[in-house]
Structure 1
Amino acid sequence: MTDAWGIDHEYEDAAGRHQRVPPETIAALRAVIGAPPDLSGDGPGEPGVQGRGGPGEQGTWARGRGGPAEPETLVMRRGDQVGAADLVLEDGAELRVDGALPPDLPYGYHTLRRPGEDTAHRLIVSPGRCRLPDRRAWGWAVQLYAARSRTSWGVGDLADLRRLAGWAAGHGAGFLLVNPLHATAPVVPVQPSPYYPASRRFHSPLYLRIEDVPGAAAVLDEETVARGRALNDRPGLDRDAAWRLKLAALEGVYAAAPPGGDFERWRAGRGRALEEFATWCALAERHGPSWRAWPAEYRRPDGPAVARFARDHADRLRFHAWLQWLVSRQLATAAAELPIMQDLPVGVDPDGADAWSWQDLLAEGVSVGAPADEFNAAGQDWGLPPFVPWKLRRAGYAPFAESVRAAIAASGGLRIDHVMGLFRLWWIPAGESAGRGAYVRYPAGDLLDIVALESHRAGAPVVGEDLGTVEPGVRETLAGRDLLSYRLLWFERDDPASWPERAMAAVTTHDLPTVAGLWDGGDLAEQRRLGLEPNEDGSRALRGALAAHGGLEPDAGAADAVLAAYRRLAEAPSLLLTATLDDALAAPDRPNIPGADGLRPNWRLPLPVPLEELERLPLPRELGELLSGAVRGSAKGVLGR
């Protein structure tokens, strides 16, 4: 049963067992959600009843019907009925309709006003389906911070991404899938997890190649460059040292060669969102990375004290806006070599920039995660605050649309982490264990239409990471919207040859064992050392299946195991195939072990060799040839172009 607040009172766990949500959890979540519009109505009813063709896509309470004082957000398609109305399109053009939306109405974000109404409605017109890849392709999945070259300053950067893209394209790859490159607070300590961003709308200037910044050549000295490159000699990533050095260099360049007209025109086009983000950055430098701990007068972005601060520190705001311009330029240069598919995290840091800007729309005292499954017996708490669904709709879905648009900006595609969160999210009240949460429903039909609209505009495909507990009907709904599924050799029990065509297929992810780590038992051993509860039986079964299908002897080396795993992957008919650079180097350690923050260097492990050496090694070349052979004949060219 789903109540009028959108809370599921029951759910089916990963083992197929029926579970009831504790009454205390329901009461706590209702208090956080508040009174949705139309609470006096019948509520959303059972999943799958409302919306455009999917489980729980739209509950009646989420329609935002609040009378004349509450303008409704309309998410529609060409041909949908709106009655008599006046439209103001995004470009300012005006149009009168009487009945259905015209078949040639531009897709986009418009305004609709009906005769006799005092308020206008936001009208989002979507094609309803995402862009599919033009042809089959394979690509590398890379944690960019880990992919250092000898000219990096301790952290893989956007020039390294450009180099990697050129090398990959020369060996038949059609795309690169990178970790989220989103912004963190511009202070130390730097947040290491790419999936805990301060903002999903802006990027981290830590990824800048300083030598490529306009004007840097006249300012940088040999000692500074040498100190930056010396950071590569450290065994792990030191983001704090890298950021201190890069920030000082960037400030020197900015002072000596202030940006000109191109930057100012770009800045003007980014509007209020960029100015608010730059303001948050400047405040964070002065008062710390958590806006909740700032002096009270700065805790709301629309307060008069914040406006005064922005005026008094206008040049520092300009500096932070300039950093975003630089990142956008360097990212575009890398994407010109090969399409770059970016990753969209589930949410944002509760103390970060987006949470400051959108604090009225987020659920206070709640974090999202996942109930127990076969890989995490205690469940997971990701520490990310969720949007209150009815408030998100009342805001015209602007935060979601802006986040999707920013992540797909490189026009190579988008991977949506935990795509099931567009349907329902596991909410955990503050102070409770991860297992004592509940699923809260979202207007998935609307959110998927927005994803389709941004995919159409960028001309880029979208992959939904549908791993873990997936309720019935979700994958079918995603397929109906042309979102590619995500299939992993480590998860799937079926033969790869039977996997769907409309999917991205991979062996593993950043959160799961590398092939070498699984094969030699090192991943299990590390989990035991950390005091975690690894799935011993599942890991042994995976290793046994790899040995059997790959014809591997017990004493086979890691490189042999990697090739065997990817030969299996190559049997999949999926449109997109991915290989990790960790596997290409037979690296034993995965980038992240969930639940091990503080116990191991999660998100701080560099690749074992620099890019210059990777490019000469035989295993990456063999993997490239293997996957190129799998797609050859049906994929000549590159993805999304």
Structure 2
Amino acid sequence: MTSAASQPQPTPAAPTTDAWGIDASWLDALDEVHTVAPATIERLRAVIGTPPEDLAERTPIVARPGDPLEVDEAEVTCEDGSTRQVDGELPEDFPLGYHSLRTPDGRERRLIVSPGRCWLPEGWRAWGWAVQLYATRGRDSWGIGDLGDLRTVRELAQTQGAGFVLVNPLHAVAPTEGQEDSPYLPATRRFRNPVYLRIADVPGAEGVDVEDEAGRALNDGALIDRDAVWALKRRVLQRVFDSRHADDGAEKPFRDWWWHEGQPLMDWATWCALADAHGPDWHGWPAELQDPRGEAVAAFAAAHDREIAFHAWLQWLLDVQLRAAAEGVTVIQDLPIGVAGGGADAWAWQDVLAQGVSVGAPPDAFNSLGQDWGSPPLVPWRLQAADYEPFVQSIRATMAGAGGLRVDHVMGLFRLWWVPSDGTAAEGAYVRYPHEDLLDIVALESHRAQAIVVGEDLGTVEDGVREAMAEHGILSYKLLWFEDDAPAQWPAEAMAAVTTHDLPTVPGLWTGSDLAEQREHGLGTDEDLERGRSSLLAHLGKVAKKSTPDQAVRAAYRRLAGAPCTLISATLDDALGEERRPNMPGAGERPNWCLPLPVPTEELAGHPGVQAVAALLADGLQPKKTQAKRKPSKSGNPG
């Protein structure tokens, strides 16, 4: 007789979602149901607001060639200016892209035609290095890893037979004092951080005093001091800009690029100039400057055209240097889940973002209090009413010039945990998003940029998410620390790794120094922390207790090399024997995101740990496959 405990248990009921997209309940990692407080639901309904009655008739139609349409007869003006008639369905040969559809009664809607699957060469596999770029500084760096260092790592990867480099988010923060350390809380997801510029590679730098000695001296610091680095770089960059643009003669390649980038770049550069004048949070600016389309902002822009041009010029330099650094190897860039509430994207799209709430995570096994990440979420219906443009621009800009995208917390395309500003993270609720549309947009942008897409699907993942990712050609993310199955049993449609920036390095776990640091910051009871360490150590397999940290690293990557996954990733932190993880969530006094690697980039190629890990992963991918090649794309050109 079968015992009650072993009998099939009923599947928990799916949460009820109301007209605002709010789930009335949620399931934790143990499939326990939690009910959202009515007061929270009412608060979030007020934040979301009521969409216009005709929203369904105005939102974009997202479809694939051959799909039936929700309109019968319509004329479509395609991106190339041609017109086509559609009647009930899209022809199989309909061009991909962003088009304008007009019905016989005069209504216009955006028509987004997607291939439905992200770009990925059939049969291609590769291994690569995961790099915290700011930490990867060399002798020519100025206190922080830069795009010159990325070029060095890329060249190393090429010589070792690697096919990609995975980097932290490179998105920009405010250009003011008090630089944000976390790469996951940028001011924008559309533009990059000029702190990563290699000054020696800037056109015109040879003609001014670049203060190279002072810059290199910043490498002597035990930690990365972004304020000191940016203060010096900005001063020198301003000097170069002034020398190159002494009169009205801005260099033509920059002028042409700026014209092509259009209004988004103008908004960013204007926000930077306003932040210089009034501070990095637009909520504290004079009221008349809080409207990006208001007369006061237009007047400010006219009076500060040179300052605005400077910030636009920095973005041009970043575009040029990133493309040079990534040449020949796929660079997978990380897309954060959101932006700072006082930043440029929040200013430009304030009518689309929710006010009075932020994104986070409910309580789970790793954090009993839940998490508040500080970013305001996009309101789903307002995002639709904006033709999905904020999302489109963020995806496109992050893919640009490199060939790969890693979507942080990919579950956020399906639902996000909203935390009211006057409550705790545990007092939030999930809000649903039009994930099918968003996934199809990712696939379209991936197809155009020929960019591989990885979704970071770690933690509590609801049913259907990974299936939808697989349908759209988005690779899953598998960690040695988290998976119960041996790497050899992992799926091919994934990126495999040992650890991430938020989790212990192999050396830190093996020596116990990571455990000691967690104790120091009060991140759990001794019993809980010891149990957590033992659990992670078990994933290393059979490693002799007297093994050195280097031997433990090799054991971990020898196991990882057996994974059949499309991408296999190794961190430079592990290869170099670094015991400190880049970020320890919850450790408020710890210098997160400020820890440099112990070896300069020029010495990476000769480091025995780097050589050993590279050899293990290269052997694991035998027989070697042809490296994926991307078609070159011009900056800003989505086609």
Q: Please confirm whether the aligned pair reaches a TM-score higher than 0.5, indicating the same fold.
A: yes
TM-score normalised per structure 1: 0.93
Aligned twin of 1:250: 237
Moved more, 471-480 or 526-535: 526-535
Q: 1:393 aligned to 361, 367, 384, which one?
A: 384
Quote the residue 2:111 is aligned against: 123
Q: Displacement, 1:210?
A: 0.6
Residue of structure 2 equivalent to 1:55: none
User: Which of 401, 409, 414 does residue 418 from structure 1 map onto?
Assistant: 409
One-letter amino acid of the counterpart of residue 395, structure 1: A
2:130 to 134, 141, 166: 141
Whole-Å Cα distance in 2 between the matches of residues 204 and 233 of structure 1?
22
Bigger mean CA offset, 444-453 vs 28-37: 28-37
1:513-562, CA deviations, whole angstroms, 9 ceiling, x for partnerless residues? 11111111111111111122264254333344145x2x322221111111
Q: Report what 1:170 is aligned to.
A: 159
Question: 1:260, 1:423 → 2: CA distance?
Answer: 44
Give distance in 1, aligned partners of 2:400 and 2:111.
23
What amino acid does structure 2 have at the position aligned with 1:4? A
**1:436 is matched with which residue?**
427
The residue that corresponds to 2:593 in the other structure is 603
Q: Does 1:240 align with 2:227?
A: yes
The corresponding residue for 1:11 is 26
Contact 1:199–1:353 (Cα < 8 Å) also in 2: yes
Mapped pair 1:160 → 2:175: no
By how many angstroms is 1:220 displaced? Answer: 2.7
User: 1:542 maps to what in 2?
Assistant: 535
1:36-115 to structure 2, matched below 5 A, reads 36-37=51-52, 64-65=55-56, 71-80=58-67, 81=69, 82-115=71-104
Aligned to 2:470: 479
Asked if 1 retains the 8 angstrom alpha-carbon contact of 2:341 and 2:375, the reply is yes
Secondary structure class of the residue paired with 1:85 = strand
Task: Give runs of aligned pairs for residues 135-534 of structure 1, distance below 5 A.
Answer: 135-221=124-210, 224-258=211-245, 259-533=250-524
Structure 2 residue aligned with 1:56: none
5+ unaligned residues in a row in structure 2: which ranges? 1-15, 632-639
CA contact (8 A) 2:22 2:41 kept: yes
CA contact (8 A) 2:135 2:597 kept: yes
Letter in structure 2 aligned against 1:603: W
1:251-289 residue CA offsets vs partner (Å, 9 max, x unmatched): 111111124111111100011110011000000001000
Tell me whether 1:132 sits opposite 2:120 in the alignment.
yes
Report the equivalent of 1:53: none
Query: 131-140 or 120-129, which moves further after superposition?
Result: 131-140
Contact kept? 2:416, 2:430, Cα under 8 Å: yes
Aligned partner (choices 616, 623, 634) of residue 633 of structure 1: 623
Alpha-carbon contact 2:481-2:536 (below 8 Å) kept: no
Identity %, equivalent residues: 56
> 1:518 touches 1:539 (CA, 8 Å); kept in 2?
no
**Distance in 1, Cα, partners of 2:539 & 2:549:** 12
Following superposition, the deviation at residue 436 of structure 1 comes to 1.0
Q: Cα offset for 1:308?
A: 0.2
Decide which moves more: 574-583 or 91-100: 91-100
Which amino acid counterpart does residue 239 of structure 2 have in structure 1?
G
Q: Does the 8 Å contact 1:73/1:393 carry over to 2?
A: yes
Distance 1:282 1:519 in 2: 48
Picking from 26, 47, 51, the partner of 1:32 is: 47
3-state DSSP of counterpart to 1:27: helix
CA–CA distance in 2 between the matches of 1:380 and 1:154? 31
SS of the equivalent of 1:96 reads strand
TM-score (norm 2): 0.93
Distance 2:498 2:532 in 1: 14
Counterpart CA distance in 2 for 1:602 and 1:579 is 20
- Structure 2 SS opposite 1:384: coil
Amino acid at match of 2:623: G
Question: 1:228 and 1:300 mapped to 2: Cα distance?
Answer: 38
Q: Once the two structures are superposed, what CA deviation does each residue of 1:276-308 show, in whole Å capped at 9, x if it has no partner? A: 110000000010000000111111101100000
Q: How far apart are 1:352 and its partner, in Å?
A: 0.2
User: Once the two structures are superposed, what CA deviation does each residue of 1:52-81 show, in whole Å capped at 9, x if it has no partner?
Assistant: xxxxxxxxxxx9326xxxx23111111223
The CA deviation at 1:324 is 0.3
Q: Distance in 1 between matches of 2:324 and 2:140?
A: 18
User: For 1:617, which of 607, 612, 615 is the aligned residue?
Assistant: 607
Match of 1:59 in 2: none
Contact 1:412–1:639 under 8 Å retained in 2 = no
TM-superposed deviation, 1:37: 4.2
Amino acid at match of 1:321: A
Q: What SS does the corresponding residue of 1:3 show, helix, strand or coil?
A: coil
Question: What SS does the aligned partner of 1:383 have?
Answer: coil
Distance (Å, rounded) in 1 between the aligned partners of 2:167 and 2:536: 27
Q: Distance in 1 between matches of 2:608 and 2:544?
A: 21
Using the TM superposition, give the Cα deviation of residue 15 of structure 1 relative to its aligned residue in structure 2, in angstroms.
2.2
1:52 alignment counterpart: none
Measure, in 2, the Cα distance between the counterparts of 1:76 and 1:64: 18
Q: Following the alignment from structure 2 to structure 1, what is the Cα–Cα distance between the partners of residues 254 and 630? A: 28
2:38 maps to 23
C-alpha distance 154-544 of structure 1, shift in aligned 2 (>3 A) = closer
For 1:639 and 1:595, locate their aligned partners in 2 and report how far apart those are by CA, in whole Å.
Answer: 41
Q: SS state of the match for residue 131, structure 1?
A: coil
**Contact 1:546–1:564 under 8 Å retained in 2:** no
Aligned mates of 1:416, 1:183 — CA distance in 2: 17
Aligned equivalent of 1:2, options 1, 17, 24: 17
Q: Which moved more, 1:516-525 or 1:358-367?
A: 516-525
Q: Counterpart amino acid of 2:395?
A: V
Equivalent pair of 1:505/1:578 in contact (CA under 8 Å)? yes
Cα distance in 2 for residues equivalent to 1:486 and 1:451? 17
Give the conservation status (yes or no) of the 8 Å contact 1:128–1:452. yes
Q: Does structure 2 retain, via aligned residues, the 8 Å contact 1:162–1:337? A: no
* Segments ≥4 residues shifted beyond 6 Å: none
Determine if contact 1:341/1:411 at 8 Å carries over to the other structure: yes
Question: Structure 1, residues 412-466: CA drift from partner, whole Å, max 9, x if none?
Answer: 2110000000000000111211111110000000000000000000111100100
